[in-house]
Amino acid sequence: MDLREMFPMKLGFGGLRLPTNGEKDHIEYDKMCEMVDEYMSAGGKYFDTSFIYHRGKSEEAMAACVVDRFGRDSFCLSDKLPLWAVDGKIDLQSVFDVQLKKCHVDFFDFYLLHNVNRNDTDFIEKSDAFEFQQRLKREGKIRFAGFSFHDTPEMLDKILTEHSGLDFVQLQINYYDWLSNYVQSKKCYEVAVSHNMPVVVMETVRGGGLSSLPPAADQLLRNVQPQSSASSLAIRFAASLDNVFMVLSGMSNIDHVRDNCSYMRADKFKKLSDAEYETIQQITKIIKMNKKINCIECGSCSEVCPENIEIDKILSIYNDSQLFGNYNFPEMHFNIHVRGNSAKKCIKCGACQTVCPKGIQIVDNISAICKIYDK
């Protein structure tokens, strides 16, 4: 079955930002049930959770609000195995069994290795995690095997080349990160296409950052589409990509569900028009005008650095953390994209600063930033 044909509505119900009473691990089931009902009545079928979301409570919430209330064939459940959280525990089967139990199911429709990246390669090899997934598939314990991913396009290509039997990949894709120098949504998407690998999209609205725009960007949207929410542009951007079969949205209340479903239900969805793509480009420019450090991501500094420090990525991760808060996990991105090539290696030769077209005080800036993230 081609996953790209499987779901008439491409909107997925994310399990990372469920309604709570303020405490991450206290999910409000009555509110979530109302949201689930609204989503399913609009044609939604895809629920996404993980071993670690909401301090381990997201899986239980999916059990109570979805699995226990609807027939098993009326929804798809996607769960993830966080390799870093079970580090040292090579017996992945016992983790998987706990997940089935917490979710009140005897199989998962979609099962992912969570956040596969270069730092996990040793553990993946030791635990034979990709083969573990294939065994689960043969045993009928999962229907589709995939992994979520935040590393580089080159790393994605390597994994997809080296491992067979994978059915999909989950990528961070949104219009702000499309040309980012570290997330590289566009290039990662193109790698997935080149492997004919269907894609699930995560961080569609960048942890909510693209749901509430700076005033000038919001005004631009109002001028073009007075009735549309900022989220609609971000969600439809991802859903307009042909190789994408599911777009996750971290909906936190019933209004989010109503808004998302209003333009994503099968009978309403429209791909973005050329004019909307143009609006998105302008909005991105406006968001970037508020960057703390005026780096244009030209990369010249990193090219001349004798210590191979990832200068431009360090600055971008920091700038994005200031624009979007910590919702998009700057530490995680730092660990993946910079680790080992941080300011700790700087010999203060000054070569980077001589080529910077913006005259940025690079040495001081990267040193201060790396103190935050390089733990």
Which parts of this chain interact with ligand SF4 (CB under 6 A)? 295-301, 304-307, 309, 311-312, 315, 346-352, 355-358, 360, 362-363
SS (H, E, C) 159-203: HHHHCCCCCEEEEECCCCCCCCCCCCHHHHHHHHHHCCCCEEEEC
Question: Minimum Å distance from CB 302 to ligand SF4?
Answer: 7
Q: Which is nearer to ligand SF4, 286 or 298 (CB)?
A: 298
Q: Which is nearer to ligand SF4, 243 or 319 (CB)?
A: 319
> Which pair of tokens denotes residue 245?
């079969």
Distances (CA, A) of 319 to 287, 302, 311, 350: 11, 17, 12, 22
> Which residues are paired to 111 by β-bridges?
79, 145
User: Which burial class, exposed, middle or buried, applies to 65 when counting CB atoms under 10 A from its CB (0-12, 13-18, 19+)?
Assistant: buried
Of the pair 39, 176, the CB lying nearest ligand SF4 is at 176
Tokens coding 24: 């991450």
CB of 170 to ligand SF4, least distance (A): 29
Closer CB to ligand SF4, residue 235 or residue 369?
369
The secondary structure of residue 272, as a DSSP letter, is P
- Cβ proximity to ligand SF4: between 231 and 342 the closer is 342
Q: How far is the CB of 341 from ligand SF4 (least distance, A)?
A: 10
Phi-psi region of 142 (alpha: psi -120 to 50; beta: other; left: phi over 0): beta
Minimum Å distance from CB 172 to ligand SF4?
21
Tokens representing 363 are 């040495």
Token reading at 347: 């010999």
Query: C-beta of 297: minimal distance to ligand SF4 in Å?
Result: 5
Q: Which is nearer to ligand SF4, 304 or 332 (CB)?
A: 304
Q: What minimum distance in Å lies between the beta carbon of 310 and ligand SF4?
A: 10
